[in-house]
């Protein structure tokens, strides 16, 4: 696609529920990144994929968070047993390998846990 | 490890005045540096980047930033701002050759342009 697409744009869920957030990167971009942005803060790194594998998942806050990218393109961020503190905008970015060309971000998914 | 400091959380300025948004970084390896802009309810858009070569980089809408290795800074400047420049600006650093390609972001600076 022309840009990075994230769906849904907004998600409201009840505390304790499971949610999936989807990211469709730019075609041909092998690197994919998930970030979380809380109100008034900069994006915080969650996980980085190079192809199908998670090259670095050191930013995932706990084992309730998991992400996959089974075919090396679309990625899904999964959050189990959601908590109110998980409320944030979840951003996805993609880049050609190495990031030399910059990182293109999607518009994000605003997750609200009530 | 790498980090980014944006000391100013908010910068108010009048239209047509000059502005500087400060960014300092720390990294143990060579770096790539970026400025991103985020308009209300939109995603991050790349404004400009430094990868190598000339230390002064420019964007198409009049912003410029200068990489200063000795001061580990990458300040963003514009000689004359417009109302439409009101947005959140984020500085980011990633590793250059041999470093981590995962960009680390500052907490952002809110540029508020008054008429």
Distance set, CA B85 to CA B13, B60, B61, B66 (Å): 11, 13, 9, 19
Average pLDDT over residues A96-104: 73
β-partners of residue B91 are B35
Give the minimum alpha-carbon distance from A18 to chain B in angstroms, rounded to a whole number: 24
Q: CB of B101 within 8 Å of any CB in chain A? A: yes
Q: Which residues of B touch A103 (CB under 8 A)?
A: 34, 46, 103
CA-nearest residue to A106 within chain B is: B43
pLDDT value at A98 more than 70:
no
Q: Which residues of A touch B45 (CB under 8 A)?
A: 105
* CA contacts within 13 A on the Cβ side of A17: 13
Chain mean pLDDT for chain B: 90
Average pLDDT over residues A70-97: 94
| Per-residue pLDDT reduced to its tens digit, B41-89 | 788 999 999 988 888 999 988 999 999 999 999 999 999 999 999 999 9
Average pLDDT over residues A47-75: 94
pLDDT value at A19 more than 90:
yes
pLDDT value at A17 more than 70:
yes
Q: CB of B99 within 8 Å of any CB in chain A? A: no
């Amino acid at each position: 696609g022309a840009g990075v697409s994230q769906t849904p744009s907004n998600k409201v869920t009840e505390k304790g529920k499971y949610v999936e957030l989807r990211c469709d990167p730019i075609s041909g971009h092998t690197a994919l990144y998930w970030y979380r942005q809380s109100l008034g803060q900069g994006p915080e790194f969650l996980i980085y994929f190079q192809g199908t594998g998670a090259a670095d998942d050191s930013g995932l806050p706990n084992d309730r968070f998991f992400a996959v990218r089974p075919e090396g393109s679309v990625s899904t961020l999964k959050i189990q047993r959601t908590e109110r503190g998980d409320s944030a905008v979840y951003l996805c970015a993609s880049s050609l390998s190495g990031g030399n060309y910059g990182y293109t971000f999607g518009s994000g998914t605003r997750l609200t846990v009530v | 490890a790498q980090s980014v400091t944006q000391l100013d959380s908010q910068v108010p300025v009048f239209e047509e005045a000059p502005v500087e948004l400060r960014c300092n970084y720390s990294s143990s390896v060579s770096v790539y540096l970026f400025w991103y802009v985020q308009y209300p309810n939109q995603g991050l858009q790349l404004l400009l980047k430094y990868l190598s070569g000339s230390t002064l980089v420019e964007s198409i809408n009049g912003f410029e930033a200068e990489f200063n290795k000795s001061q580990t800074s990458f300040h963003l400047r514009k000689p004359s701002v417009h109302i439409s420049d009101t947005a959140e600006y984020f500085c980011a650093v990633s590793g250059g050759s041999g470093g981590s390609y995962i960009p680390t972001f500052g907490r952002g600076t809110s540029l508020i342009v008054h008429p």
